[in-house]
Amino acid sequence: GENVEQHPSTLSVQEGDSAVIKCTYSDSASNYFPWYKQELGKRPQLIIDIRSNVGEKKDQRIAVTLNKTAKHFSLHITETQPEDSAVYFCAASLYNQGGKLIFGQGTELSVKP
């Protein structure tokens, strides 16, 4: 089955700096790669996603890149703000088969003012 590895487990940046979180997946059939943000005690919420037919997607300060050959994808957050502090999870699935999401271990991002 699918296995997703996520690094780093913790990341601390200064406000205004960029943050990058990286994930690798094992199942080459996976075609959907979302990123979820989870604030303390809250539910995970989708912040951006990408499908396997696209190499890069951007939404304001957030971007995701996908390298299908290497089976890895990354989340980039620019101009970080204190409210970006949270745990971020990457995941992989077969979206067009209503597939389950397999999540990485999570990255705790801390943005210091």
Task: Answer yes or no whether residue 26 interacts with another protein by CB under 8 A.
Answer: no
Candidates 21-29, 59-67, 78-86, 103-111 — which segment interacts with another protein by CB under 8 A? 103-111
Q: Whole-number minimum distance, CB 79 to another protein, in Å? A: 26
Q: Is the dihedral of CA 99, 100, 104, 109 positive or negative?
A: positive
- DSSP letter for 35, please: E
Q: How many angstroms separate the Cα of 62 from the Cα of each of 3, 28, 48, 94?
A: 24, 25, 8, 23
| Cα Rg of the chain, angstroms | 13
Task: Answer yes or no whether residue 7 interacts with another protein by CB under 8 A.
Answer: no
Report how far residue 80's alpha carbon sits from residue 3's, in angstroms, rounded to the nearest whole number: 29
Contact pick of 21, 101, 109, 111 for another protein (by CB under 8 A): 101
Report how far residue 78's alpha carbon sits from residue 65's, in angstroms, rounded to the nearest whole number: 14
Q: For residues 56 and 79, which CB has a smaller minimum distance to another protein in the complex?
A: 56
- # residues near another protein by CB under 8 A: 23
Q: For residues 26 and 81, which CB has a smaller minimum distance to another protein in the complex?
A: 26
Task: Answer yes or no whether residue 27 interacts with another protein by CB under 8 A.
Answer: no
